[in-house]
A and B are shown apart, each in its own frame.
Chain A
Amino acid sequence: MVGRRWWTPWLWLAPALALLGVFLVYPVVDTFRRSFLDERSKGFVGLDNYRFIIDNPQPLVSDTHSALLNNVMWLTLFTVVTVSLGLILAVLTGRVRYEAAAKSAIFIPMAVSFVAASVIWRFMYEFNTDIGTVNATVTSLGGESTAWLQNTGAPHTWLTERGPDTLPRPVQINNLALILVGVWMWTGFAMVILSAGLKGISTEVLEAARVDGANEWHIFRRIILPILSPTIVVVATTLVIQGLKKFDLVWVMTGGRFKTDVVATLFYKEAFRIGDFGVGAALAVVLLLWVLPIMVISIRRFQFQEETR
């Protein structure tokens, strides 16, 4: 734009940068510093805390390997399922008259606080078949009940006796059970944002395509998806990051026990239960570093978008 002064962008950015600097950047720097200090953040210990994460010397209390693997499962499975479901629902609900009602039904889990969600899902996953919905349904259909949140066995064992009892971590029944809760909560989020994106697609374009004889699937693939793809990237990136920093859900349902720990719950346990701020900080730094490649990929897409508009 002609006449824009060099300092104008910075003026616009100033409030955001100031707030982020104080509330997020400074603590991050502080955490980074603590990751090289001991438990009480007094003495310098070099890379000892990071070595702790790599060596995993206390698998009983803080199983760092298990936590890392669980996060991998979260950021892949959770994201893929939630984005897909959100996309399908955004498209489908846009086609029916009762759009608002359907959207609300999917959205309500987001409105429920984590505390309430944990209460609901404890009812769902309760081992006692008199109380637990899932087990009651399963047994009434002739299946076997199981302790959904405590069972670390391989998922297929619930259906069949064949095959190994346990698969390599993190493929465990209780992880899947937790991810299901995550999907239940976040699909509404994906759906709402993708819907907002859908609304930006000019109806004339869709009309024209239909007149030309394109079927719905074609329209979805060739028109909707490409236009929606930046929004999908935003949703997917946000969800991947959610998968990385997953804390509330896991903490409230299992406390990270029974091998469901993720890096965020482990960080919390180390910092606030065990009192080791050094290892806790190191775990937090792992999270921060882990997110960088994800951000690079998503920024690349933005650049692509910029070049083509």
Chain B
Amino acid sequence: MARRNPSSSNGSPAAAPGVSLGLGTARRLAARLPLHLSLIGLAVIWSIPTIALLVSSFRDPTAIAASGWWNAIREPFDLTVGNYQTVLEKQGMARAFVNSVIITVPSTVSVILVAALAAYAFAWMKFPARNLLFLLMVALLVVPVQMTLIPVLRLYTDLTIDAELPVLGGRIFGTSSYAGMWVAHTAYGLPFAIYLLRNFFGSLPRDLFESAYLDGASDLRVFFRIVLPLSMPAISALAIFQFLWVWNDLLVALILLGDPSLAPMTLKITNLVSSFGTNYQVLTAAAFISMALPLVIFFALQRYFVRGILAGAVKG
């Protein structure tokens, strides 16, 4: 049987020695046809709702309520950028975008840091009640956010420092403060983050640590020099999800961020819809505008779980 290149690095099969290119390639293609068909088919079906949303975002609001989106992709082409204009030109939308970035980026970075420290302890340090503590901590995954908001808000109103934060705006801490949002989002993201990272840290081979400790490395050194770099796939995955969840959050912002000038994009976007729910069509355009940055992050980080970097790194 002809030797094939391992498929995880690139998809093209090497030509088998001695077999003419034409027949060999065709046979290989035929063998992989079901793979391609099922994958592409699945991806297409998966994308239909998204495509529907995309097409709808270019349609007039009255058309959206009158006929299905597939009508727009054939004659007469009734497409318009009006929805996008409405969203982008909405007063304060640019500031809202900046606010979203200010809220989301630090929240993402801090959750990774705090969770990684804790996950390392859970994975590689021994201490009493370790498993019980881990179990209880991850059980917190199920706590609905709404349940926590009243006590947290009460705490924040007590801790409010009514001074303005320079440069960024808002208060230094408490309600209507960016710092309050960072802390809250970090806390809410911790259970999943610790759970995920602990699993990845735990799967690293023991001899790696053993040799490092033997060489006299401290925990901190092992953490920063060995564990973190090797866990980039997991950390990237975590970064993307945390970014997404904070970026798309609405409720925490509504409750803890009372000042409308600090409002993130999600809040500004819901204000485009009337109290009855009319004008919801702008949400189609708003969805894509809001999706832009998270997708950029996804593409930037995807090399960590699309292309392997681990091959060879684990050798002793």
Contact = CB atoms under 8 A, between A and B. Distances in A.
Query: Do any CB atoms of chain A lie under 8 A from CB atoms of chain B in the complex?
Result: yes
Interface of A: 1-2, 4, 6, 8-10, 12-13, 15-17, 19-20, 22-28, 30-31, 89, 92-97, 99-116, 119-121, 123-124, 130-133, 136, 184, 187, 189, 192-193, 195-200, 202-204, 206-207, 210-211, 213, 230-231, 233-234, 237-238, 241, 244-245, 247, 264, 267-268, 271-272, 281, 284, 287-288, 290-292, 295-296, 298-299, 302-303, 305-306, 309
30 contacts: A4-B125, A9-B125, A12-B121, A19-B190, A22-B155, A23-B148, A95-B11, A97-B12, A102-B43, A111-B295, A116-B53, A116-B291, A121-B49, A131-B65, A132-B68, A184-B49, A195-B306, A196-B200, A196-B234, A198-B8, A199-B304, A200-B310, A237-B138, A237-B195, A241-B141, A264-B144, A291-B139, A291-B141, A302-B199, A309-B206
Contacts of A305: 202-203
B39 A96 contact: yes
B69 A123 contact: yes
A35 to B, nearest CB: 11
Given A27-B148, A111-B291, 19 more contacts: A9-B130, A10-B127, A13-B122, A20-B137, A23-B148, A26-B151, A27-B150, A93-B39, A102-B43, A108-B47, A115-B250, A120-B53, A123-B53, A184-B49, A196-B200, A196-B237, A196-B304, A245-B144, A288-B139
Nearest to A109: B50
Nearest to B280: A119
A291 to B, nearest CB: 4
A23 B188 contact: yes
A291 B3 contact: no
A295 B142 CA distance: 11
A196 B201 CA distance: 13
A114 B148 CA distance: 20
A18 B300 CA distance: 32
A94 B8 contact: yes
A83 B82 CA distance: 40
B52 A24 contact: no
Contact of B302 (A103, A189, A268): A103
B298 A111 contact: yes
A130 B140 contact: no
Contacts of B295: 104, 108, 111
Given A94-B8, A291-B139, A15 B309 contact: no
A106 B43 contact: yes
Contacts, number: 315
B50 to A, nearest CB: 5
Nearest to B117: A12
Nearest to B39: A92
Contacts of A133: 48-49, 52, 68-70
Contact of A105 (B47, B125, B206): B47
Contacts of A97: 10-12
B241 A189 contact: yes
Given A94-B7, A100-B306, A302-B202, A19 B186 contact: yes
B141 A4 contact: no
B290 interface: yes
B67 interface: yes
